[in-house]
Amino acid sequence: MSLRPLSLALLLLAPALLRAADPTLHEALVAVRADKAGDPAVARVLQGLASAHGTPLYVYDQAHIRGQVASLKAAFAPRFPKLRVLYALKANTNPSIIGLLKGEGLGAEVVSLGEIEWALRTGYKGSEIMFTSSSKNPAELRRAIALGAVLNVDSLDELGQVRDEARRQKKQARISFRVNPGVDPHTIHQINTGITESKFGLHLQDGIALRAYEQAKAMPEIRIEGLHCHIGSQITETEGYTLTAKKMLAFVKELKDKLGLRLAFVDLGGGLGIPYKDGQAVMSPEDLARALEPIWKEGVAAAGYEPTLWLEPGRFFVGGSGFVLVRVNTVKQTPVKTFVNVDAGFNTLMRPILYQAYHRVRVLGKSADPVTVDIAGDVCETGDILAEARTLPRAAAGDLLAILDAGAYGFSMASEYNSRPMPAELLVDGNRVRVIRRRGGFGDIFRNTGK
């Protein structure tokens, strides 16, 4: 481990900051989510964190993560007795977060050699790792095969490379194929992005995936274990999953009937969405499990055997747990807008500029005098707006804001662009807080340059 003990030190809030009736840190975070950030006691508690650790600051609520895992298990375990849940590490790659999810019994779904190394460092065995990527390099193939991870193969070209490397290592490579089911998870409401055109997976269409299994079956260096798909991210309705599950299970039957193959697992991917707006209704795990149950039962009855159902969410577990605390530098009125300029930008949280994503923003300790503002980042780019046209209590220089739902694809996408060091990350457990990544410094920015 490259992390030194200091970064894992248990840190109690200075008692002088707290009053007897103050909420715990966890309660303060829950209150911020519930739009009660104006409460002076809530603000006081989070001001304490920001003063002690600086801003911008990532704060994760452990109870939220555990609650998400529990709700997924409660929905799926009773309906799918053969179930395995993995955590997609790329959503949040902090080792303490990975460790927390490992502790909940989840496997590791990784997309790179770096994520393989994180999984190993947090105690995963190679055999517990599923490696998905549409473009794996030779070093990644070598390491994954040596470790006995499941390689989720994305092309016939890759299959040949896996066979050759397994032969060199005198090992059998464990594989599944990622298939492209040709389903748009957003068919109902959103712009059709045409997943059939996506770069991922072998198409079920035209028998392409079937021929891949046929070829793999003839290779002694290959052990076929499963079938995989992942149709997208931030999916808020069940339809995409149910359409996909039908196609996948029909293919399971086809593999058995035509090739005599029995799979150990069928992985329906991740992608479970979370609400990013107040009052937004999204599919719950219960909704999804209930919708999938009859399709699964019918599909396995038709196939004549039951593979293990694998799921591999990322965002669903960690997204809502994360907050970015940012400080207001200045407020500026232009002829057309009011900008609240904060000390974080798309270097800290990329989702708004990358996906036009909406993140709720709360002004801590203020509830009066609503104004419509843009929350502007400190990166020198016009597009660096973290939140647009929000009506919020009037904020002033020095105020603290909380940006919500930043636990997934937040820090893991952050950068040092504009030569700003990486923020710190904290993990809140009740009223205790652990530094799970120290704030970066200029030494980090200058590293490896010889300067």
Ligand X SMILES: *Cc1c(COP(=O)(O)O)cnc(C)c1O
Which residue numbers belong to the known binding site for pyridoxal 5'-phosphate?
A: 271, 312-315, 409
- Chain centroid to Cα 342, Å, comes to 25
**Residues flagged as binding site for substrate:** 315, 351, 355, 381, 409
Choice between 128 and 399, CB closer to ligand X: 128
Choice between 55 and 68, CB closer to ligand X: 68
DSSP-derived pairing of the beta strands 10-11 and 222-228: unpaired
- Confirm or reject binding of residue 251 to ligand X (CB under 6 A): no
In the DSSP assignment, the letter for residue 272 is: B
Given the rule CB under 6 A, which of 33-41, 87-95, 169-177, 428-436 is the region that contacts ligand X? 87-95
The gap between the terminal CA atoms of the chain, to the nearest Å, is 26
Instruction: Give the residue from 333, 404, 346 showing the smallest Cα distance to 374.
Output: 333
Choice between 111 and 288, CB closer to ligand X: 111
| Torsions phi, psi for 101 (to 5 deg) | -75, -35
Instruction: Give the residue from 63, 69, 54 showing the smallest Cα distance to 25.
Output: 63
DSSP-derived pairing of the beta strands 361-363 and 400-403: antiparallel
Residue 154 CB, nearest approach to ligand X (Å): 10
Q: Which of residues 126-145 bind ligand X (CB under 6 A)?
A: 132
Q: Which of residues 50-79 bind ligand X (CB under 6 A)?
A: none
Choice between 109 and 378, CB closer to ligand X: 109
Given the rule CB under 6 A, which of 53-61, 84-92, 114-122, 358-366 is the region that contacts ligand X? 84-92
Element holding 199 (H helix, E strand) = none
Spell out the residues 6+ positions from residue 164 whose beta carbon is closer than 8 angstroms to its own: none
Q: Please pick, from the candidates 84, 90, 390, 437, the single residue that binds ligand X as defined by CB under 6 A.
A: 90
- Confirm or reject binding of residue 316 to ligand X (CB under 6 A): yes
Given the rule CB under 6 A, which of 243-251, 263-271, 284-292, 419-427 is the region that contacts ligand X? 263-271
Phi-psi category of 444—alpha, beta or left, where left has phi over 0 and alpha has psi -120 to 50?
alpha
Given the rule CB under 6 A, which of 21-29, 85-93, 428-436, 442-450 is the region that contacts ligand X? 85-93
Residue 111 CB, nearest approach to ligand X (Å): 6
Element holding 245 (H helix, E strand) = helix 239-259
Given the rule CB under 6 A, which of 136-144, 314-322, 390-398, 415-423 is the region that contacts ligand X? 314-322
Q: Is 340 helix (H, G, I), strand (E, B) or coil?
A: strand
Pattern 94-113, binding to ligand X, x per CB under 6 A? ---------------x-x--
- Confirm or reject binding of residue 183 to ligand X (CB under 6 A): no
Query: What does the alpha-carbon distance between residue 439 and residue 217 come to, in Å, rounded to a whole number?
Result: 50
- Confirm or reject binding of residue 269 to ligand X (CB under 6 A): yes
- Confirm or reject binding of residue 314 to ligand X (CB under 6 A): yes
- Scanning 104-207, the segments in alpha helix (DSSP H) are 113-121, 138-147, 156-169
Q: Which tokens is 352 given? A: 């708004």
Pattern 191-230, binding to ligand X, x per CB under 6 A? ---------------------------------------x
Q: Which tokens is 232 given? A: 């997208």
Residue pair 162/141 in contact (Cβ under 8 Å)? The answer is yes
Q: Please pick, from the candidates 126, 181, 226, 270, the single residue that binds ligand X as defined by CB under 6 A.
A: 270
- Confirm or reject binding of residue 405 to ligand X (CB under 6 A): no
Q: Please pick, from the candidates 84, 315, 390, 420, the single residue that binds ligand X as defined by CB under 6 A.
A: 315
* Gyration radius of the chain's alpha carbons: 23
Query: What does the alpha-carbon distance between residue 156 and residue 159 come to, in Å, rounded to a whole number?
Result: 5
Catalytic residue among 20, 157, 380, 419: 380
Please say if 380 is a catalytic residue: yes
Query: What does the alpha-carbon distance between residue 426 and residue 439 come to, in Å, rounded to a whole number?
Result: 10
Query: What does the alpha-carbon distance between residue 342 and residue 353 come to, in Å, rounded to a whole number?
Result: 15
- Confirm or reject binding of residue 425 to ligand X (CB under 6 A): no
Q: Which tokens is 291 given? A: 């919708």
Q: Please pick, from the candidates 56, 182, 271, 352, the single residue that binds ligand X as defined by CB under 6 A.
A: 271
Residue pair 361/403 in contact (Cβ under 8 Å)? The answer is yes
Q: Please pick, from the candidates 37, 88, 98, 400, the single residue that binds ligand X as defined by CB under 6 A.
A: 88
Active centre residues (catalytic): 380
Residues of this chain that interact with ligand X (CB under 6 A) are: 88, 90-91, 109, 111, 132, 230, 233, 269-272, 312-316, 408
